Amino acid sequence: MAIRKNKPIDLQADMKYLEDTMYVISGKWKMKIILALICGSKRYREIAKAVPNITFRMLSKELKQLEQNKLISRTVTMDNMIQYEITGYAQTLAPTIIEMIKWGKEHRENIKN
C-alpha cells in the first residue's frame, strides 16, 4: 500500500485508483445494493425491501449498471424466477464496505453533531 507513515510512494497513482473505486461505487445506491446482495438478497423485490427507500426506477437503473460493470449477475432460474447475485469481483468490495460500515458505526455520534 501507498499510504504508510506519511511516506506515499506515488500519490498521483493512488489518486487515480481512489477515483476508479469512487466511480464504481458512486451514487446513493450501489453500495447498499451490493450490501443487500452480500447479505443474501436475490430477488428484485427482496432487494427493494432490503434497501430502504429505493424506488423501482433507481433499483432497475443501478442493477443494470452493476451488471454492466460485472459486479452482479442476473439469471433466470429453471422455475422462471429472476435471480441476482454478486460476482466474485464484487465480493472483493466486501472489505471496503465493511470498513465503511465500521466507520459509520464508530462515528455516528460525531456525524450527528
Partner DNA sequence: CAGTATCCCTGTAGATACTG
Partner DNA sequence: CAGTATCTACAGGGATACTG
When asked if residue 99 is in the footprint of a second copy (CB under 8 A), the reply is yes
Cell numbers representing residue 11 in the block: 500519490
When asked if residue 85 is in the footprint of a second copy (CB under 8 A), the reply is no
Tell how many helices (H) and how many strands (E) occur in the chain: 7, 2
86 CB neighbour count, 10 Å cutoff = 22
To the nearest whole angstrom, how small is the minimum distance from the Cβ of residue 27 to a second copy?
A: 9
When asked if residue 105 is in the footprint of a second copy (CB under 8 A), the reply is yes
Residues that bind a second copy in the complex, under the rule CB under 8 A: 1-3, 6, 8, 11-12, 14-24, 28, 31-32, 35-36, 38-40, 50-52, 69-70, 89, 92-108, 110-111
